[in-house]
Amino acid sequence: MSRDPSATKASLLAAARVEFAAHGAAGARVDRIAERAGVSKERIYGYFGSKDKLFDAVLDEVVEEVMEFVGEPGRDIAAYVRRVHDFHRERPDLVRLLVWEGMQGGGSCPNRRSRVEHYVRKNQAMAEALGLETAEEAAPLLFMFMAICSWSVVVPQVARLVLGEGIDTEDGRDRLRKHIGDFAEGAVTHIREQQSRV
Amino acid sequence: MSRDPSATKASLLAAARVEFAAHGAAGARVDRIAERAGVSKERIYGYFGSKDKLFDAVLDEVVEEVMEFVGEPGRDIAAYVRRVHDFHRERPDLVRLLVWEGMQGGGSCPNRRSRVEHYVRKNQAMAEALGLETAEEAAPLLFMFMAICSWSVVVPQVARLVLGEGIDTEDGRDRLRKHIGDFAEGAVTHIREQQSRV
DNA sequence: ACGCTAGCCAACCAACTGGTTGGTAGTCAA
DNA sequence: TTGACTACCAACCAGTTGGTTGGCTAGCGT
pLDDT of residue A2: 64
CA distance linking residue A70 with residue B96, whole number of Å: 28
Which of A 32-91 have CB under 7 A of nucleic chain D? 38-43, 46
Residues 30-89 of chain B whose Cβ lies under 8 A from any Cβ of chain A: none
Q: What is the per-residue pLDDT across A14-38, written as a single tens digit (0 to 9) for each? A: 999 999 999 999 999 999 999 999 9
Outline where B28-76 has alpha helix (H): 30-37, 42-47, 51-69
Protein residue at shortest CA distance from C1' of D20: B42
CA A46 from chain centre, in angstroms, equals 28
Selected residue of B63, B85, B130, B158 to mutate for chain A interface (largest A Cβ count, 10 A): B158
Q: Indicate if the pLDDT at residue A1 is higher than 60.
A: no
Q: Decide if B108 contacts B123 (C-beta within 8 A).
A: no
Whether the beta carbon of B1 falls within 7 A of nucleic chain C: the reply is yes
Straight-line distance from CA B20 to C1' D21, in Å?
A: 27
CA distance linking residue A187 with residue B78, whole number of Å: 12
Q: Which residues contact A71 (CB under 8 A, 6 or more apart)?
A: A80, A83
Q: Indicate if the pLDDT at residue A195 is higher than 90.
A: no
Tell me how close the Cα of B30 comes to any Cα of chain A, in angstroms: 15
Q: Which residues of A touch B119 (CB under 8 A)?
A: 161-162
| CA atoms within 13 A of residue A103's CA, in its CB half-sphere | 38
pLDDT of residue A196: 87
Q: Indicate if the pLDDT at residue A96 is higher than 70.
A: yes
Q: Taking CB atoms and an 8 Å limit, are A156 and B102 in contact across chains?
A: yes
Straight-line distance from CA A141 to C1' C21, in Å?
A: 53
Tell me how close the Cα of A121 comes to any Cα of chain B, in angstroms: 10
Q: What is the per-residue pLDDT across A116-155, written as a single tens digit (0 to 9) for each? A: 999 999 999 999 999 999 999 999 999 999 999 999 999 9
Residues 85-124 of chain A whose Cβ lies under 8 A from any Cβ of chain B: 96, 98-105, 107, 109, 112, 115-116, 119, 123
Domain boundary assignment for chain A: 1-58, 70-197
B26 and chain A: CB distance < 8 Å anywhere? yes
pLDDT of residue B10: 98
Neighbour count for residue A10 (Cβ, 10 Å): 13
CA distance linking residue A89 with residue A1, whole number of Å: 36
CA distance linking residue B3 with residue B92, whole number of Å: 32
pLDDT of residue B146: 97
Average pLDDT, chain A: 94
pLDDT of residue B2: 66
CA distance linking residue B186 with residue A183, whole number of Å: 8
Q: Indicate if the pLDDT at residue A90 is higher than 70.
A: yes
How many residues appear in chain A? 198
Tell me how close the Cα of B12 comes to any Cα of chain A, in angstroms: 23
Tell me the backbone φ, ψ of residue A19, rounded to 5 degrees: -65, -45
Residue A194 binned pLDDT confidence (cut-offs 50, 70, 90): confident
Q: Which fold has domain A1-58?
A: Arc Repressor Mutant, subunit A (1.10.10)
Q: Decide if B24 contacts B100 (C-beta within 8 A).
A: yes
pLDDT of residue A26: 97
Q: What is the per-residue pLDDT across A54-72, written as a single tens digit (0 to 9) for each? A: 999 999 999 888 878 778 9
CB-contacted nucleotides of strand D (7 Å)? 6-11, 16-22, 26-27
Q: Could you name the CATH architecture of B1-57?
A: Orthogonal Bundle (1.10)
**Cα dist. B50→B33, B103, B186 in Å?**
13, 20, 46
Q: Taking CB atoms and an 8 Å limit, are B179 and A98 in contact across chains?
A: no
Low-confidence ranges of chain B (pLDDT < 50): 1
Q: Which fold has domain A70-197?
A: Tetracycline Repressor; domain 2 (1.10.357)
Task: State the ipTM, two decimals.
Answer: 0.95
User: Which of B68, B147, B150, B56 shows the shortest CA–CA distance to B109?
Assistant: B56
Straight-line distance from CA A2 to C1' C26, in Å?
A: 10
Q: Taking CB atoms and an 8 Å limit, are B107 and A157 in contact across chains?
A: yes
| CA atoms within 13 A of residue A67's CA, in its CB half-sphere | 14
pLDDT of residue A3: 85
DSSP A122: H
